[in-house]
Amino acid sequence: MSEAEIDRLLTASESLRWILRLLFLDQAGLDPELMAARFRLSQRYNYFVRDAADWQPKVYSKKPRKG
């Protein structure tokens, strides 16, 4: 397996972890703005986004998002 394939699989795996967490919290009725604020404050989430930008730069931009 090539390094690019490993990076792609790792990014998909880690992305699914965060997507599922977000979906469960949404289904539980948490406020979307509160969830967004907490995700932005989460060190683990920020590490994921940083690493994902290295693994898959076409999908996860290193440029800060407005908002």
Q: pLDDT per position in the chain (67 positions), as tens? A: 899 899 899 999 999 999 999 999 999 999 999 999 999 999 999 999 999 998 888 888 876 655 5
| Within-domain flag for 62 | no
Residue 38 lies in a domain: yes
E strand or H helix at 1 = none
Answer yes or no: is 26 within a domain.
Answer: yes
pLDDT at 4: 87
User: Could you tell me the residue range of the domain that residue 34 belongs to?
Assistant: 3-55
Domains in the chain, number: 1
Which H or E element spans position 7?
Answer: helix 3-27
Count of beta carbons in the 10 Å neighbourhood of residue 25:
16
Specify if 41 maps to a domain. yes
Which residue bears the tokens 């790792």? 10
pLDDT attached to residue 28: 97
- 64 in a structural domain: no
In a domain, 65, yes or no: no
